[in-house]
Amino acid sequence: MPPRPIYEAENLNPAYQLRYAWTAWPSRGPVPEPLADEAWRNLQTAWDSDGLRALEPTWSRDKIQILFSTTPDVNPVFLAARAKGRLDHAYRQAGQACEFSRKVGLRSVGENTRADVEQYIASQVSRASFADSQYQRSLEKFIVCDSTVLLAEPSETRSGRYWYNLHIVLVSADRAPFAEPELGLIRDRSLEIAAKKGHRISRLAVMPDHLHIALRGNLDHSPQEIALAFQNNLAFALGQNAVWKHTYYAGTFSEYDMDAIRTAKSSQRSG
């Protein structure tokens, strides 16, 4: 019988910033006019019940784009399906039926770009300040930079194109430092966990009291599932002990940041 997980959603207090730009196209003809205010508010309420918060909608003749924020238990496949399904239903109720293409686009976005996140993780050791410079140099072997994992490229499926990039951070319990053999174990097991779960790690930094991971997530796994998988499997590898704080950070990122989205929105409004 497998051991009971130490970390479960109910006993965690996570920090997160999860945003996704969703795009849908009509199968034929132009996109209908934007929904009336009441219909749009009802749609937002329905999405809220799914863990989706519609932040910024943009209508044009050939596509609809909506910026969503989500709770950590929402995965990209669920988001894309609920976004299109509920919007389609709202249009039908309004007498403005629009047949959307089966394919959608979903892009994770955040306050930082992919380049910024990857550079931040890769430079964790050089950013740190340790009294023992030799010890600091020894930590470089616990940094992983895999240039074959191209987070700028989407995951292609029959339902569309997905950019699902996450920055995950775990912190040791009481900020207690791990011994050097434990750091190596965390590095190696993290790569094994990712491979087993269908994630691709681009950058990984195992520091004495915390862990940074930049990855392309399995589309069927929510940020919460991904963080829990690392917490519990690493805890098991380290003796089935509560080695992590009962929290995690999960943030989305992409090739461009929220400032680029805000600028684009402002240009569209002024145009």
Task: For residue 130, name the pLDDT band (cuts at 50, 70, 90).
Answer: confident
Kindly indicate the confidence band of residue 56, based on its pLDDT and cuts at 50, 70 and 90.
Answer: confident
CATH of the domain at 27: 3.30.70.1290
Same domain, 104 and 29: yes
Q: Find the mean pLDDT for residues 234-252.
A: 97
pLDDT of residue 263: 64
Q: Give the domain extent around 99.
A: 19-109+258-270
Token pair in block for residue 26: 């009509």
Amino acid at 30: P
User: What does the pLDDT look like over 194-219, one tens digit per residue?
Assistant: 999 999 999 999 999 999 999 999 99
Domain annotation covers residue 266: yes
* Same-domain pairing of 32 and 97: yes
pLDDT of residue 270: 47
Flag whether 243 is in a domain: yes
Residue 260: the pLDDT is: 74
What integer best gives the mean pLDDT of the chain? 93
Does a structural domain hold residue 1? no
Query: What pLDDT does residue 21 have?
Result: 96
* Residue 2 belongs to a domain: no
Residue 160 sits at the vertex; the CA angle it makes with 48 and 265, to the nearest 5 degrees, is: 60
Confirm if 40 and 31 have CB atoms less than 8 A apart.
no
Q: How many domains does the chain have?
A: 2
Is residue 123 located within the same domain as residue 230?
yes
- CA-based max dimension of the chain: 70
In this structure, are 235 and 152 located in the same domain?
A: yes
- Residue 257, pLDDT > 90, answer no
Q: What per-residue confidence (pLDDT) applies to 269?
A: 53
CA distance 208 to 104: 41
